[in-house]
């Protein structure tokens, strides 16, 4: 027998991209709606008045005064770096050597990796993030620990073992050959197991020989539906070092392109210093960028050109990434807040609709998962969050207790959520229609 459930509240999701069409056409807002689920998936959504007569005999969970949205999607984060969040004073390359590499060394110990994976996933869910694209470490144990913990919670997660065979301490390097064998075994073990998916994960061009990048390309050919996940053009010293290491290449993206790593399942984190030609190539390949605002500010990396990535004539898929531990928060609301400020510094505007699109359907598109998650279309997996626009005393002072009815009122309400909200504004997080119990209030 199938199980039906329903939720009554205000609902917001996106049915088109607000960077390309108007907010009226892209945002679907239902002030008093009913969301109906069947076996953990979306059955239908509509106004309460139009649907309630069909569901008189099922129990309805009501969230008055709340706003229900699809779960947030973090398109770039490192679970083993949770414990170095807020490490003082360095930019990328010294930060990696001083803080990151020593910490990642601890993840050879599976028990330790399990402990951190559990804390990390609790934090993700508390922050309303239901899907993420995740770096583990070079150790296969770290991938097993992460996927086991994610699977126990029935999460849709994408992750992979880091491949790195140079410019890093010995305790953190593999070889081209061992990275091939270990990655292949992990793909066979985890890719498409329940809701889990695998990403081939060379760290970045500095820590992989050309031989290892070619091996990554070979894995993508052998397993065409896995992802490619790496970093690109984050920091000026990094870009200069890559030029030195790969003198024959036309540029940073070209290093990856020559290894067959630039395709429609590729996600490149940062891209702060990409050239126009590189944006064109990403557009042509239908590859994605993970925009990581808190990290780009914290590590002093630079201001991402969101308007270039989202231009109509050269569109590139973009999601938001927290990039913890380079990033300073696991909250996609806080990440969107900093994205807004980066746009401001560049004389651009990022509307609250655009910001929340990036955190939901935009992220799903960046991960090619828009057939499964990202909005409330029938048949999609019911990962959703209950947001409280009056979560703190100051937010309650800022937001009245009346429910927005016009798009302009809604815009103001959700802008306050983006700017002032964090984990406290996540009242509850549901996975496949079940309350995880880790929200701030439930
Ligand atoms: N580039 C290569 N590795 C890393 C990392 O761990 N974090 C960030 N932010 N950039 C990187
Ligand atoms: Zn990163």
Buried b (16+ CB within 10 A) or exposed e, 120-150: bbebbbbbbbbbbbbbbbbbbbbbbbbbbbb
68 in Cβ contact with 381 (< 8 Å): no
**Spatial separation of the C-alpha atoms in residues 191 and 225, rounded to whole Å:** 9
342 in Cβ contact with 306 (< 8 Å): yes
pLDDT single digits (tens) 30-57: 999 999 999 999 999 999 999 999 999 9
pLDDT single digits (tens) 313-326: 999 999 999 999 99
For residue 203, the ligand closest to its alpha carbon is 1
Q: In ligand 1, which atom is closest to the CA atom of 78?
A: 6
Q: In ligand 1, which atom is closest to the CA atom of 238?
A: 1
| Protein residue closest via CA to atom 3 of ligand 1 | 203
pLDDT beneath 70, residues of the chain: 1, 439-442
Compute the residue count for the chain: 442
Going from N- to C-terminal start, the domains of the chain cover 4-70+376-435, 72-366
Burial status of residue 346 (CB atoms within 10 A of its CB: 0-12, 13-18, 19 or more):
middle
Please choose, from the candidates 16, 12, 40, 38, the residue with its C-alpha nearest in 3D space to the C-alpha of residue 370: 16
| Protein residue closest via CA to atom 7 of ligand 1 | 326
Q: To test ligand 1's pocket by mutation, which of 296, 302, 323 has the most ligand atoms within 8 angstroms of CB?
A: 323
Query: Which phi and psi (to 5°) does residue 72 adopt?
Result: -75, 155
Buried b (16+ CB within 10 A) or exposed e, 175-213: ebeebbebbbebbeebbeeebbbbbbbbbbbbbbbbebb
**Spatial separation of the C-alpha atoms in residues 80 and 65, rounded to whole Å:** 37
**Spatial separation of the C-alpha atoms in residues 56 and 6, rounded to whole Å:** 10
> Can you read off the two tokens belonging to residue 241?
């070092």
**Spatial separation of the C-alpha atoms in residues 76 and 63, rounded to whole Å:** 31
Place of tokens 């065979």: 165
For residue 84, the ligand closest to its alpha carbon is 1
**Spatial separation of the C-alpha atoms in residues 366 and 317, rounded to whole Å:** 5
Q: What's the gap in Å between 56 CA and the centre of ligand 2?
A: 48
> Can you read off the two tokens belonging to residue 277?
């030609």
**Per-residue pLDDT at 265:** 98
For the domain 72-366, what is the CATH superfamily, name and number? Metal-dependent hydrolases (3.20.20.140)
Which protein residues touch ligand 1 with a CB less than 6 Å away?
Answer: 78, 92, 96, 100, 203-204, 231, 234, 295, 323, 326
Query: Which phi and psi (to 5°) does residue 357 adopt?
Result: -60, -50
**Per-residue pLDDT at 438:** 86
Q: What's the gap in Å between 82 CA and the centre of ligand 2?
A: 12
Domain topology for 4-70+376-435: Urease, subunit C; domain 1 (2.30.40)
**Spatial separation of the C-alpha atoms in residues 128 and 422, rounded to whole Å:** 9
At residue 291's C-alpha, the angle toward residues 290 and 296, to 5°, is: 125
Cβ < 5 A residues, ion ligand 2: 269, 323
pTM of the predicted protein model: 0.98
């Amino acid at each position: 027998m199938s199980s039906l459930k329903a939720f009554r509240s205000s609902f917001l999701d996106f049915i088109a991209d607000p960077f390309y069409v108007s907010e009226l056409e892209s945002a679907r807002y239902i002030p008093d709606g009913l969301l109906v689920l069947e076996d953990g998936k979306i059955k239908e959504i509509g106004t309460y008045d139009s649907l309630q007569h069909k569901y008189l005999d099922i129990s309805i969970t009501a969230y008055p005064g709340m706003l229900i949205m699809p779960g947030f999607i973090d398109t770039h984060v490192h679970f083993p770096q949770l414990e170095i969040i807020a490490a003082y004073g360095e930019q990328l390359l010294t930060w990696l050597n001083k803080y990151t590499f020593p910490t990642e060394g601890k993840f050879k110990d599976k028990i330790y990796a399990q402990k951190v994976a559990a804390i990390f996933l609790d934090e993700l869910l508390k922050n309303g993030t239901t899907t993420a694209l995740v770096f583990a470490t070079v150790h296969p144990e770290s991938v097993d620990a992460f996927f086991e913990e994610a699977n126990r919670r029935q999460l849709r997660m994408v992750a992979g073992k880091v491949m790195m065979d140079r410019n890093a301490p010995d305790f953190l390097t593999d070889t081209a050959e061992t990275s091939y064998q270990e990655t292949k075994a992990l793909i066979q073990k985890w890719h498409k197991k329940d809701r889990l998916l695998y990403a081939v994960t060379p760290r970045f061009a500095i820590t992989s020989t050309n031989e290892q990048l070619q091996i990554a390309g070979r894995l993508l050919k052998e397993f065409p539906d896995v992802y490619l996940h790496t970093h690109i053009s984050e920091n000026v010293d990094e870009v200069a070092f890559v030029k030195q290491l790969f003198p024959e290449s036309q540029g940073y993206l070209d290093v990856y392109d020559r290894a067959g790593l630039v395709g429609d399942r590729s996600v490149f984190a940062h891209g702060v210093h990409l050239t126009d030609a590189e944006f064109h190539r990403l557009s042509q390949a239908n590859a994605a960028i993970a925009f990581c605002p808190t990290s780009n500010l914290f590590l002093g990396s630079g201001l991402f050109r969101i308007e270039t990535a989202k231009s109509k004539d050269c569109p590139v898929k973009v999601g938001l990434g927290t990039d913890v531990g380079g990033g300073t928060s696991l909250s996609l609301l806080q990440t969107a807040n900093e994205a807004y400020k980066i746009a401001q510094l560049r004389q651009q505007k990022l509307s609250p609709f655009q910001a929340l699109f990036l955190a939901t359907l935009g992220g799903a598109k960046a991960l090619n998962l828009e057939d499964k998650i990202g909005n409330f279309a029938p048949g999609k997996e019911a990962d959703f969050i209950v947001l409280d626009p009056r979560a703190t005393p100051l937010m309650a002072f800022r937001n009245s207790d009346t429910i927005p009815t016009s798009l302009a009122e809604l815009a103001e309400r959700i802008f306050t959520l983006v700017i002032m909200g964090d984990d406290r504004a996540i009242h509850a997080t549901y996975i496949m229609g079940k309350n995880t119990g880790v929200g701030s209030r439930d």
